[in-house]
Structure 1
Amino acid sequence: MSGPDKLNISHLEDNGIIDSAAAVATDDEHSLTFREACKRYPKAVFWAIAISLTIVMEGYDTILIGNLFAYPSFKEKYGTYYPDLDQYVVSGAWQAGLGNAASCGAIIGLIINGYMTERFGHRIVIMVGLVVMSGLIFITAFAPSIQVLCVGQVLVGIPWGIFSIMGSAYASEGQLIAAGILQGLVNNTTKWSYRIPFLVQLSWPLPLFILAWAAPDSPWWLVRKHRLGDAERSLQRLTSNMPPEKIQSMLAMMVHTNNFEKAVQAESSYKDCFRGTNLRRTEVACMILSAQTLCGEAFSYQPTYFFTQAGLKPAESYKLNFGGMGVAFVGTCVSWILMTYFGRRKILTTGIGLLVIDLLIIGCLSYTPQGRWAQAAFAILWLGIYSSCLGPESFTVAAEISATRLRAQTISIARNAYNVANIVDNAIEPYLINPTEAGLKGKTAFIWFGVAVLVFTWAVFRLPETRNLTYEELDVLFEKRTPAWKFTAKNLDAVMESQKIQELDDNEDGTEVQKV
C-alpha cells in the first residue's frame, strides 16, 4: 500500500488513542446487521468458506468408516464369518478400534496444531497438513489387513486433527458425498466398492492447497505477533472498499483487546488455559464440543449399522443413510438462519433438549415389534436436529468463548476433549449394538438418553451467550465472573456502570484504583 491509502499505524503505541479508536470500532460492530456485515466483508466470508472446506475431508471420513461396517464387501474383507448368523461381521473390538483410530491420530494433530498455528499461522499449517494427508490416504485404501487399516486410520487422523478446528459448517457436505458414494457402490461385490470411497479423498488436497496459499493470514494472529503493518494489509484484503479510518479503528480494537488480555495473562500457552477465568472458558469450550458425541453421535450420526441391526436390508439402509445425510445438509443450512436471529445459548439448549426427547422415543419404539421404520425415521430426525443446532453452533461457541491470545490452544484442548469423549463413546457403542456382543439394537438409545440429560443440565447452568458481544466484552464478563444466564449486552452495561460507581467510591475514599 502506498499514497493516501496507507494507514498511519505508528500512533497505536498511544494507549489513549487506542482506547478511543477501539470504542468507535466496538460501537460500529454492534450496529452491523447480518446483511451489512456480508456487504462490508464479502472477502472475509469467501475466505472463511474456503478455509472451512478443509473439514469436508474430516466430515467425509466421519461418516465413511462407521458406515462401512455394514458394507457387504468390506465385511467380507475385514470381518469374521459367524455360522450361527450366516454372515460376515466386523467384531465389536475391531469396530471400536477402527472407529477410534482416527480420533487417536487427531489428538496428536490437535496438539501439533496448537503449537504450530500460533507459531507459523493457519496458512502454512494447512498447506503442510494437506501434503502429508495426500500420501497417507493410500494406506487406508489398499490396507491388506484390518490391522494395517487401523494404523492407516491413526496416521491419517493426524492431519484431520489439524483441520478439525479450521471450520465446521461445511462438514455436512462431505458426509453427504460419502453417503451418496456408499449408496451407489453398495451392490458392487469387488474390493473397489470400499477402495473408491477412500480414494475419493484425494480429489480435495490440491485445490485446497491453492486456496490456502492464496488466503490472507489472520489479522488477529498478526497483531499478536506485533506485525501491525501486515495486519493492516490483511484487513484490507478481508474488507471491501472500507475507508482507511474504519480499518484504523478495527486495528486499534484488535490491539486494545490484545493488550487487555496481556494484562490479565502473561503468556499464550496451554497452561494459561487453566489459569484464572480462562479455566471457565476452557470448560465451556470442552463441554460444548464434547456434547456433540455425548448426545448420541456414536449411535445416530452414522445410522447405517443401526438400520441393519433394526432389521432393514443393506440396500434399504444405505438409501436411508443417504437421505439422512441430505437431511443433515439441509439442517446445516437451516443453522445459518437460526444463528442469525437467535442466540447461541438458546439454540444449543433447545437443540440438546430436543435430542434428549428424540433418543427417548427411539428407545421406547424398540419395544414395538414393527417399529423399525419408525426408529429409522427418528434417527434421521436426530440428524436434522443435530445438524441445525448442536453440530455447527457448538463450533461457533468454542471459537468465540476463548481469549483471543489463547484461541488456538483453547480450541485444540476442546477438540481433544471431544476426541477423548468420542473414543470412549465409540468403544462402548459397538459392544452395546453389535449382535455378537450385547445386541441391544434400538434400546441402545436409552444409554445415550441418560448421558444427554446430564449434558442438557450442564448447558442450562454453565453455557453463556456469546452473540452480539465483542471479544473484549466477553473478557470483561468473564473477569467479573458473571453467571452464564446473564451474558447479555444489557447486563454488560450494568456491569460496566457498577464498575464506574465502584471506581468513584474508591476515589472518594482516597483509595488507589487499579485498572486492567
Structure 2
Amino acid sequence: MDKPEQEAINTEKPAGSRVLQQELLSDAEDATNREHELTFVQAIKLYPKAVGWSILMSTALVMDGYDTKLISSLFAQGAFSKAYGKSLGKGKYQISAPWQSGLTNGSNVGQIIGLSFSGYLSERFGFRKTMIGALLLVPGFIFIQFFAPSLGVLEAGQILLGIPLGIFQSMTCVYAVEVMPTRLRGYLTSYVNICWVLGQLIASGVLRGVLNMEAPWAYRVPFAVQWFWPIPLIIGVFLAPESPWWLVRKNRLEDAKASLRRLTSPQNVAFDLDKTLALMALTTEHEREVNTGTHFLACFRGTDLRRTIIVIGSYCMQVFSGSTFRAYVTYFFEQAGLPTTQAFNMSIVAYALGLIGTVLSWILMTHVGRRALFIYGLIAVGSIFLIIGGLGVRLASAPSSGLSWAIGGLLLASVFIADSAVLPVSYALVSEVPSSLLRSKSVVIARASYAVINIAANALIPYQMNPTAWGWSARTGFFWAGSCFLGLIFSYFVVPEPKDRTIAELDLLFEKKVSARNFAKAQVHLSEVAADHGRV
C-alpha cells in the first residue's frame, strides 16, 4: 500500500469516529432534555416498576433500624437484664456500662467490616448477587442472637449481623440512584430514611408488646422477629432487574437495554431506550477518561476528592445534628414523671413523627432543594438544642417536671425537623454527588466514616447524660448545638445543590470546580463532555 492511500485511510477513520461520536452525543442530549422535561407525574408513569424495585431493595434497611433500636432498648428490659446482667441486690439486675457500649457499637463494627467488602463485591458481581449473598447470611447470625447463652456470644452475633447490614447500607442508596430518573432520585434515596425509622418503630412496637412476657421469650421474641425479613427480600431481589448503569460499566449494553426495558413502562411512546442508553454510555466513557481509576484510592484524587469530602460530611451530619442526643427523649419523659410504659410509648410517637417528617421532606426537597433544606434544618435543630441547654441549666438548679416535659417536647420537635430536613437529605446527597464509576465506593467510605463517628458519639453521650459521670443532662444540648454549628459551616461552604442535575451535568460542574454556592445557577452543556477532550 503506498503512502497516499495510507494517509487517506488514517484520515477517514477519525472522521468516521467523529461522526459516530456526534450521533452518540446527539442522542445523549435528547435524553438529557427529556430528563429535564419530565414532570413528577410523568416520571412516575414512565418508571413505575423502577420505583417498586427500588422500594423493595431499600426495605432491607428496615433490619438495620430494627437492630439499632432493639439492642439499646433491651438494656431497660427486666428479663433481659436478669438473664445477662449482674445482680445489684433487692431483685435488681444491670448490664454493665462496658457491655452496654460494646453491644450498642457491635453492629457498627460489623458494618465497617461489611462496608469494606461491599464496594468491591457490588462492582464485581452486581447489586442483585451481592444483596442476595448478604441476605443469605442474616438468618444464621440471628440464630446466634436468639440462642446466645452469654453476653460474649451476643456480642459476636451483633458484630456478625452488622456485616450484611453494612452491605445493605451501600447497596440500597446506589441502586435507587441508578434505576431512577433525575426527577425521582430525591424521593427514592431519602426513602432509605423511612426504612430506617420504620425499623425503629417496629422494634418499639414489638418491645412494647413483650413487656409483660416472661423470660426467655421476652427478649427472644424480638430477636426472632428478624427472621421474617430475609426470605421475602431474597425472592424479590432475585426477580429484580440489575442496575443498567452497572451493566453499562461492564460493557454489557444489550443487557443494560433489557434492564431499562424492565424498569420502564412500555406504554410511554415518548421514551427512547437507545437514547437513554447513549447518555449512560457517554457519561461512563467520559468518567473513565477523566478519572484515575476505579479503586478506593481514586476517591481521593482529582475532582473525586471534593466529591468524597462532600459525601463523608453529608453522611456524618446525621451524627453532628444530634441523633444520639435525640434518642434520650424517653429519658426526659421519665424524669417528667411518666411511668416507664408511657415514656416508652413516647418513643413510638418520636418515630411516627420521623416518618411524617420524611414524607414532608419529599415536598420540601422539590421546592427548596437539598442544599438549602440541609442548611435550614441544621439551623433549626441547633437552635432547639440551644434552648434545651438553657432549660437544662435551670433544671440542674431547680428540678421540675414541667421543665422535663418541655425538654422532652423540644426533643420531639427536633426529631420531626431532623427527619424533615437533615437526615433524608443526607441520603440523597450521598447517593447523588459521587461519579457513577466510584459511587459504590464513595458511599462505602461515607458510611464507614459515619460508623466511626457514631461509635464515638455512642461512647460519649452516656458520660454526658449519666448523673454518675459528667452529669450534664439537658445541658448536653449546648454541646450538640455547637456540633450543629460546625455542620452548618461545612454545609454552607462545601455542600452543593444537585437537584435536577443529571449525572453527566454533575460531572461537568465538579470538573469546572464550580463553588457549592453557585451550583444551582451554573450553566453546563452536554456537548462539553466531548469538547473538553477534543473528540468532537
Q: TM-score normalized by structure 2?
A: 0.87
Cα drift, residue 431 of structure 1: 2.1
The 3-state SS of whatever aligns with 1:469 is coil
**2:53 equivalent in structure 1:** 47
For residues 12 and 175 of structure 1, the distance between their equivalents in structure 2, rounded to whole angstroms, comes to: 55
For residues 29 and 316 of structure 1, the distance between their equivalents in structure 2, rounded to whole angstroms, comes to: 49
2:454 to 410, 422, 443: 422
Cα drift, residue 12 of structure 1: 12
Q: Does the aligned pair in 2 maintain the 1:335–1:392 contact within 8 Å?
A: yes
Q: Which is further off, 197-206 or 135-144?
A: 135-144
Structure 1 residues 420 and 496 mapped into 2: Cα distance closer, same or farther (>3 Å)? same
Cα drift, residue 228 of structure 1: 0.1
**2:209 equivalent in structure 1:** 184
**1:247 equivalent in structure 2:** 273
Cα drift, residue 313 of structure 1: 3.3
Q: Does the aligned pair in 2 maintain the 1:91–1:436 contact within 8 Å?
A: no
The 3-state SS of whatever aligns with 1:88 is strand
**1:205 equivalent in structure 2:** 230
Alignment of 1:465-480 (within 5 A): 465-480=497-512
**2:306 equivalent in structure 1:** 280
Cα drift, residue 86 of structure 1: 8.6
**1:132 equivalent in structure 2:** 137
Name the Cα RMSD after superposition.
Answer: 2.4
For residues 129 and 207 of structure 1, the distance between their equivalents in structure 2, rounded to whole angstroms, comes to: 14
**2:295 equivalent in structure 1:** 269
**2:261 equivalent in structure 1:** 236
**2:155 equivalent in structure 1:** 150
Structure 1 residues 13 and 105 mapped into 2: Cα distance closer, same or farther (>3 Å)? farther
2:23 to 17, 20, 23: 17
Structure 1 residues 375 and 215 mapped into 2: Cα distance closer, same or farther (>3 Å)? same
For residues 314 and 91 of structure 2, the distance between their equivalents in structure 1, rounded to whole angstroms, comes to: 42
The 3-state SS of whatever aligns with 2:498 is coil
The 3-state SS of whatever aligns with 1:217 is coil
For residues 272 and 18 of structure 2, the distance between their equivalents in structure 1, rounded to whole angstroms, comes to: 14
Structure 1 gap ranges (5+): 1-10, 504-511
**2:9 equivalent in structure 1:** none
For residues 309 and 129 of structure 1, the distance between their equivalents in structure 2, rounded to whole angstroms, comes to: 42
Structure 1 residues 312 and 89 mapped into 2: Cα distance closer, same or farther (>3 Å)? farther
Q: Does the aligned pair in 1 maintain the 2:75–2:81 contact within 8 Å?
A: yes
Cα deviation per residue 1:323-353 (whole Å; 9 max; x = unaligned)? Answer: 1111111112222222232211011111111
Cα drift, residue 474 of structure 1: 0.7
**2:14 equivalent in structure 1:** none
Cα drift, residue 304 of structure 1: 3.4
**2:196 equivalent in structure 1:** 171
For residues 468 and 335 of structure 2, the distance between their equivalents in structure 1, rounded to whole angstroms, comes to: 11
**1:259 equivalent in structure 2:** 285
Structure 1 residues 302 and 116 mapped into 2: Cα distance closer, same or farther (>3 Å)? farther
Cα deviation per residue 1:291-317 (whole Å; 9 max; x = unaligned)? Answer: 101221112136435544666432122
Q: Does 1:379 align with 2:385?
A: no
Cα drift, residue 251 of structure 1: 0.2
For residues 243 and 230 of structure 1, the distance between their equivalents in structure 2, rounded to whole angstroms, comes to: 21
Q: Does the aligned pair in 1 maintain the 2:319–2:450 contact within 8 Å?
A: yes
Cα drift, residue 87 of structure 1: 4.6
2:39 to 33, 42, 59: 33
**1:507 equivalent in structure 2:** none
Structure 1 residues 334 and 323 mapped into 2: Cα distance closer, same or farther (>3 Å)? same
Aligned residues: 492
Cα drift, residue 287 of structure 1: 0.6
**1:460 equivalent in structure 2:** 492
- What is the letter of the counterpart of residue 405 of structure 1? L
For residues 245 and 134 of structure 1, the distance between their equivalents in structure 2, rounded to whole angstroms, comes to: 42
**1:79 equivalent in structure 2:** 85
Q: Which is further off, 350-359 or 427-436?
A: 427-436
Q: Does the aligned pair in 1 maintain the 2:18–2:535 contact within 8 Å?
A: no
Q: TM-score normalized by structure 1?
A: 0.90
For residues 57 and 374 of structure 1, the distance between their equivalents in structure 2, rounded to whole angstroms, comes to: 32
- What is the letter of the counterpart of residue 301 of structure 1? A
**1:397 equivalent in structure 2:** 429
- What is the letter of the counterpart of residue 261 of structure 1? E
Q: Does 1:446 align with 2:478?
A: yes
**1:88 equivalent in structure 2:** 93
For residues 50 and 245 of structure 1, the distance between their equivalents in structure 2, rounded to whole angstroms, comes to: 24
Cα drift, residue 267 of structure 1: 2.1
Structure 2 gap ranges (5+): 1-16, 174-191
Cα drift, residue 227 of structure 1: 0.1
For residues 399 and 237 of structure 1, the distance between their equivalents in structure 2, rounded to whole angstroms, comes to: 22
Cα deviation per residue 1:158-179 (whole Å; 9 max; x = unaligned)? Answer: 0000011314132222121111
Cα deviation per residue 1:191-224 (whole Å; 9 max; x = unaligned)? Answer: 3222211111111100000100000000000000
- What is the letter of the counterpart of residue 473 of structure 1? E
Alignment of 1:50-65 (within 5 A): 50-65=56-71
1:67 to 69, 73, 81: 73
Cα drift, residue 17 of structure 1: 1.4
For residues 447 and 79 of structure 1, the distance between their equivalents in structure 2, rounded to whole angstroms, comes to: 31
The 3-state SS of whatever aligns with 1:465 is coil
Structure 1 residues 164 and 309 mapped into 2: Cα distance closer, same or farther (>3 Å)? farther
Cα deviation per residue 1:453-508 (whole Å; 9 max; x = unaligned)? Answer: 111111111110000111111111111111101112x3124x999x89xx9xxxxx
- What is the letter of the counterpart of residue 460 of structure 1? Y
Cα deviation per residue 1:129-177 (whole Å; 9 max; x = unaligned)? Answer: 1110111012222322222222211110000000113141322221211
Q: Does 1:216 align with 2:238?
A: no
- What is the letter of the counterpart of residue 522 of structure 2? N
Structure 1 residues 299 and 12 mapped into 2: Cα distance closer, same or farther (>3 Å)? farther
- What is the letter of the counterpart of residue 275 of structure 1? R
The 3-state SS of whatever aligns with 2:148 is coil
Structure 1 residues 359 and 73 mapped into 2: Cα distance closer, same or farther (>3 Å)? farther
For residues 79 and 421 of structure 2, the distance between their equivalents in structure 1, rounded to whole angstroms, comes to: 35
Q: Does the aligned pair in 2 maintain the 1:176–1:326 contact within 8 Å?
A: yes
Cα drift, residue 276 of structure 1: 0.3
- What is the letter of the counterpart of residue 208 of structure 2? Q
Q: Does the aligned pair in 2 maintain the 1:23–1:253 contact within 8 Å?
A: yes
- What is the letter of the counterpart of residue 437 of structure 1? A
Cα deviation per residue 1:358-382 (whole Å; 9 max; x = unaligned)? Answer: 2222222222322111111112222
**2:221 equivalent in structure 1:** 196
For residues 13 and 409 of structure 1, the distance between their equivalents in structure 2, rounded to whole angstroms, comes to: 35
Q: Does the aligned pair in 1 maintain the 2:407–2:474 contact within 8 Å?
A: yes
- What is the letter of the counterpart of residue 335 of structure 1? S
1:346 to 372, 391, 411: 372
**1:492 equivalent in structure 2:** 523
Identity of aligned residues (%): 41
Q: Does 1:315 align with 2:341?
A: yes
Cα deviation per residue 1:74-96 (whole Å; 9 max; x = unaligned)? Answer: 2333333446x995333332222
